[in-house]
Amino acid sequence: MRIPNIKAAAKALRQNEKRRARNLKRKEGLKKIVKEMKRHLAAGDAAKARELAPQLMQATDKAVAKGTIHRNKAARIKSRLLSQLAGSGAPIAKPAKSAAR
């Protein structure tokens, strides 16, 4: 690893490491939800997958808002999983709005 000679470059490196860690955590959380939802859909457990749908929406929207993933990727993830869920049956629950905003 190269050590920066300039103070500003050292700070930029520190910031980059923090942002990378934050983005990785956010991506891993999203992947976990997607994986769990796919597992439930494959098993035919639409009820469990339906419960995860609001979490999927929130995680993808937050990742887009923070610039972790591109909005088209988020749309693709949501579209694919929700179309599979729609093919399996009943309606999707909407996420609860928090009162303290």
Tens of pLDDT, residue by residue over 41-80, are 999 999 999 999 999 999 999 999 999 999 999 999 999 9
Nearby residues of 55 by Cβ (< 8 Å), 6 or more positions away: 33, 95
Nearby residues of 33 by Cβ (< 8 Å), 6 or more positions away: 52, 55, 56, 59
The confidence score (pLDDT) of residue 57 equals: 97
For residue 93, pLDDT beyond 60:
no
* pTM attached to this predicted model: 0.78
Q: Which of 93, 28, 27 is nearest to 64 (CA)?
A: 27
Cα gap 7→28, rounded to integer Å:
32
Mean pLDDT score of the chain, rounded to an integer? 90
Cα gap 49→45, rounded to integer Å:
7
